[in-house]
Structure 1
Amino acid sequence: MITTLPAPVVEQETIRVSALHALAYCPRLFYLEEVEELYTQDEAVFAGRRLHVELEKDEDTEELFLESVELGLRGKVDALRERDGQIIPYEHKRGRCRRGDNYQPQAWDSDHLQILAYAYLIELALNTTVLEGRIRYHRDNVLVKIPVNDVGRQKVRDAVEQARNLRQSPQRPPVTNNEKLCVRCSLAPVCLPEEARLAQDPERAPLRLFPKDEERQIIHVMEPGTKVGKSGEEIKITPLDEPAKKIPARMVDQLVLHSFAQISTQALHLCAYQQIGVHFVSGGGRYMGSLDTRQGSIQRRIQQYKALTDPELCLRLARQLVQCRGQGQRRFLMRGERPPELQQTIDQMKALLKQVESVDSIASLLGFEGNLAALYFQGLPLSLSPNIDPELQFSGRNRRPPQDCFNCLLGFGYALLLKDVNHSILTVGLEPALGFYHQPRSQAYPLGLDLMEIFRVPLVDMIVVASINRGQWQVREDFEKRGQQVWLTDVGRKKFIELYERRKGESWKHPVTNYSLTYRRLIELEVRLLEKEWNGEGGLFAQLVLR
């Protein structure tokens, strides 16, 4: 006798009522928050929290957490009251209500769905009937009453089904057609809706929804033996034989530990919790690695893995990258006086760049890039003033260990740039070890090497040439010679970091979006534009070329 066992019952995870609120507002917002687990906390979010803290002091209200596996929902009702024997759920909103015909107050669609969901949950939990829910809009002090009926209950069930289907989908929903929603959305800097619309319509004049700058600081801990710890919600930095300095964690974006600075486990925990990037740079100026605290970004990495195993996509992106870097290098050489030998180099680079689009393999493209780089570094010495210290002159590119002052500056600058690019990659939630052009080698992550090509000229080469021409370097004070090797001294490293961070704070008008951002923000924007290349919204990546 064969006994057939019943199929196991798979219990689905319940969905937060607040997630249905996001779904009604914009399906793409729901997907970014619930599937990709992307969240932001802007001033509106904090203001809403303050409102609810004040409301909790009201003794006439009762907060209630509810969950129904049958319905597939869970949530916490803002307030529950009893009026004339009827239970009424209340929601409190910081903003204004919607105005309908004859300027009559109405609930916004997302708020309407949310209060219906809470009413339905109460009915199932308490085995009762809820006749209405109420929403208080505090900005204009309006109370909107929402009737609860079978139509509303079906609306909730349909929304739960849509939410479940979206959770199973591997693709983000498209950008909403209602542009007004994007202006008020806290996830606009992650979603980049205006940039997605621009990719579809190049004639469009997009709004800048991407934040201008990151107000939090980048802290470089330079002195060997410095201890970094935690004191409450502050980062505590204690140099050798000096008093400790404390910085509120909320004011710190990155903590960069140079040489043999030490950091405690407690400080690492605080940095992870506060989403502070922790990066390590050796005493010789090599980028060593970063603390990876990514959470909930697996969907983005799965999409990245799928995309960057496609040879055609990788070749297309690599062509764009070589064009971007090559055009930037060529235009940098065109900025100063052009003696005949430099003009010849510029013309040769132009001829090579015309052939990039016809290259049919990554291997061949590497050869073209090598030829472009050779021409660029051949012409770069002509950008230097003839009056500078001979020891600061440039006669050719050499890597680690650097053999002259110029290459020493380039190497340290590229290490700082790689650190910043990897910081943005981790912030966005991508995998730095999987690139589309560079191959894995040593400690340098391929995707970081790919993306830093866009910023080598504006963020490193230009400040090295400019600072040398301005006489900002003292060979004896800023550099240390060890046999055939040349390294920056502590004074020299501090000077370069100051120049580099100042440069990152300067703004550049994006040649395609036509809005200005600091270089610090542009790095993150470029990572997000790269991700759009495999999400069906590509076309803006690697367009940052010097004018």
Structure 2
Amino acid sequence: MPTLYLNEQGTRLGKKDERLIILRGQELINDIPVIKVDRVIVMGQGVQVSHAAIVFLAQRGIPLIFTTQSGGSQKAMVSAGLGNNAALRLAQCRIVDNPHLAVPLVQAIVVGKVANQIQLLERYGSDWGGMGLRAKQTMQHVIQQTQHMPDIEQLRGLEGAGAAAYWGTWSAVFKTAWGFAGRAYRPTPDPLNALLSFGYTLLLNDLMTAVQALSFDPYLGVFHTVQFGRPSLALDLEEEFRPCIVDRMVLDVLDAGLLQMSNFSRTEKGFLLNDRARKSFIQAYEQRMQTPIRYQGTGNNEPMRRVLLLQTQHLARVLQGEEPRYQPYVWRD
């Protein structure tokens, strides 16, 4: 159980000896050895966490993350802090403050994301007709232009052109059945956008854990601009993984018929998953994150969650001059 999710409102997380306990009133629901938990995610204001449990988790370096009940956004994170590698954070600040130094990293982020989007279209788009083929051609052109573009703002524009082609294909396939007209959020206008946003939040939680474990400042990124409260570095790292983890998982869920329109409700905040669908999606996400895949950096099969950490370690070595250039993770079956 690498991640402990607490989303049942009216429950409470406590501790007893070296174990985490989950209670509903005086009833013991679960009893988990802390050694089996890598992070805890609390979803909703109706889940309480005891002071003793907060201190217990912080002392053991286990992040405690608070999100909305829908899981749509992270509200707070309790952790041991930024870590003791101040030299890495200085290197991070230098690249964030110098666009010339940041360009190769931004190029890699865009290439990795678009390459993985192409991989997804090649895997799932055989039945999507000419729309998918035209999108791939556009996205391949984006990759070619990205490799020679020295301006960060224009690189963001190229990423946007690739995204428009990619999500345009999704819209052509899913607009009639699911109302998907393109990527949108806050509020989520349809069930597919709700699924994507929820999945991206789960993935971002994992990357926040990885960057803080290595002493990065998660709020200083290069592709995503620095804004108050925005975990820009974690979002930068997330880009290459969105297609091969979350987008792929959403398509697998749809192909298997695991979710229907009845699994969603429409609110003033947009479409939301119901509790049962949310639990099912979390289970599918955890299964994906624990599944070994071939990782180019080691040549070995590694669990996907470990690949996130390995890529974050790779970035740390690049920023500290130990490796020449960041190589994004590119999905290969």
Using structure 1 for the length normalisation, give the TM-score.
0.57
Are the aligned partners of 2:245 and 2:288 in contact in 1 as well (CA < 8 Å)?
yes
Choose from 15, 18, 36 the match for 1:230. Answer: 15
SS of equivalent residue, structure 1 residue 533: helix
Distance 1:539 1:513, change over 3 A: farther
Distance 1:483 1:218, change over 3 A: closer
Answering whether residue 329 of structure 2 is matched by residue 329 of structure 1, we say no
Task: Measure, in 2, the Cα distance between the counterparts of 1:445 and 1:460.
Answer: 19
For residues 135-534 of structure 1, the aligned pairs below 5 Å read 217-240=2-25, 242-260=27-45, 261-285=47-71, 286-294=73-81, 295-335=83-123, 336-337=125-126, 339-381=129-171, 391-392=177-178, 394-441=180-227, 443-476=229-262, 478-482=263-267, 485-534=270-319
SS of equivalent residue, structure 2 residue 170: helix
Task: Measure, in 2, the Cα distance between the counterparts of 1:262 and 1:340.
Answer: 51
Q: Which structure has the greater CA radius of gyration?
A: 1
Deviation at 1:227, TM superposition (A): 1.1
Extract unaligned runs of 5+ from structure 1. Answer: 1-215
Farther off after superposition, 396-405 or 291-300: 291-300
Deviation at 1:497, TM superposition (A): 0.4
CA-atom RMSD, angstroms?
Answer: 2.0
SS of equivalent residue, structure 1 residue 517: strand
Q: Which amino acid aligns with 2:290?
A: G
Task: Measure, in 1, the Cα distance between the counterparts of 2:188 and 2:153.
Answer: 27
Task: Measure, in 2, the Cα distance between the counterparts of 1:538 and 1:400.
Answer: 39
Deviation at 1:281, TM superposition (A): 1.3
Tell me the alpha carbon deviations over residues 51-105 of structure 1, each in whole angstroms, 9 at most, x when there is no partner.
Answer: xxxxxxxxxxxxxxxxxxxxxxxxxxxxxxxxxxxxxxxxxxxxxxxxxxxxxxx
With a CA cutoff of 8 Å and minimum separation of 6, indicate the structure with the bigger relative contact order: 2
Deviation at 1:483, TM superposition (A): 5.7
Task: Measure, in 1, the Cα distance between the counterparts of 2:15 and 2:26.
Answer: 18
SS of equivalent residue, structure 1 residue 398: coil
Is the helix fraction higher in 1 or 2?
2
Q: Which amino acid aligns with 1:280?
A: F
SS of equivalent residue, structure 1 residue 236: strand
Q: Runs (4+) of structure 1 moved beyond 4 Å?
A: 381-384
Q: Which amino acid aligns with 2:80?
A: T
Deviation at 1:245, TM superposition (A): 2.3
Count of aligned pairs between the two proteins: 327
Q: What residue is the counterpart of 1:39 in the other structure? A: none
Deviation at 1:319, TM superposition (A): 0.4
Deviation at 1:448, TM superposition (A): 0.9
Q: Which amino acid aligns with 1:251?
A: K
Deviation at 1:370, TM superposition (A): 0.8
Deviation at 1:470, TM superposition (A): 1.1
Distance 1:300 1:245, change over 3 A: same
Tell me the alpha carbon deviations over residues 170-209 of structure 1, each in whole angstroms, 9 at most, x when there is no partner.
Answer: xxxxxxxxxxxxxxxxxxxxxxxxxxxxxxxxxxxxxxxx
SS of equivalent residue, structure 1 residue 376: helix
Task: Measure, in 2, the Cα distance between the counterparts of 1:395 and 1:301.
Answer: 40
Are the aligned partners of 1:333 and 1:383 in contact in 2 as well (CA < 8 Å)?
no
Q: Which amino acid aligns with 2:79?
A: D
Are the aligned partners of 1:223 and 1:239 in contact in 2 as well (CA < 8 Å)?
no
Tell me the alpha carbon deviations over residues 11-70 of structure 1, each in whole angstroms, 9 at most, x when there is no partner.
Answer: xxxxxxxxxxxxxxxxxxxxxxxxxxxxxxxxxxxxxxxxxxxxxxxxxxxxxxxxxxxx
Task: Measure, in 1, the Cα distance between the counterparts of 2:139 and 2:88.
Answer: 37
Q: Which amino acid aligns with 1:315?
A: V
Q: Which amino acid aligns with 1:236?
A: I
Are the aligned partners of 1:255 and 1:276 in contact in 2 as well (CA < 8 Å)?
yes
Q: Which amino acid aligns with 2:110?
A: V
Extract unaligned runs of 5+ from structure 2. Answer: none
Are the aligned partners of 1:417 and 1:452 in contact in 2 as well (CA < 8 Å)?
yes
Deviation at 1:467, TM superposition (A): 0.6
For residues 39-188 of structure 1, the aligned pairs below 5 Å read none
Q: Which amino acid aligns with 1:298?
A: A
Deviation at 1:444, TM superposition (A): 2.9
Task: Measure, in 2, the Cα distance between the counterparts of 1:440 and 1:489.
Answer: 33
SS of equivalent residue, structure 1 residue 358: coil
Q: Which amino acid aligns with 2:183?
A: R
Q: Which amino acid aligns with 1:324?
A: G
Q: Which amino acid aligns with 1:520?
A: R
Are the aligned partners of 2:105 and 2:325 in contact in 1 as well (CA < 8 Å)?
no
Are the aligned partners of 2:10 and 2:48 in contact in 1 as well (CA < 8 Å)?
yes
Deviation at 1:249, TM superposition (A): 1.5
Deviation at 1:382, TM superposition (A): 5.7
Task: Measure, in 1, the Cα distance between the counterparts of 2:250 and 2:177.
Answer: 14
Deviation at 1:238, TM superposition (A): 1.2
Are the aligned partners of 2:219 and 2:229 in contact in 1 as well (CA < 8 Å)?
no
Farther off after superposition, 372-381 or 298-307: 298-307
Q: What residue is the counterpart of 2:321 in the other structure? A: 536
Q: Which amino acid aligns with 1:312?
A: H
SS of equivalent residue, structure 1 residue 443: coil
Q: Which amino acid aligns with 1:398?
A: A
Task: Measure, in 2, the Cα distance between the counterparts of 1:292 and 1:312.
Answer: 33
Distance 1:297 1:262, change over 3 A: farther
Tell me the alpha carbon deviations over residues 100-129 of structure 1, each in whole angstroms, 9 at most, x when there is no partner.
Answer: xxxxxxxxxxxxxxxxxxxxxxxxxxxxxx
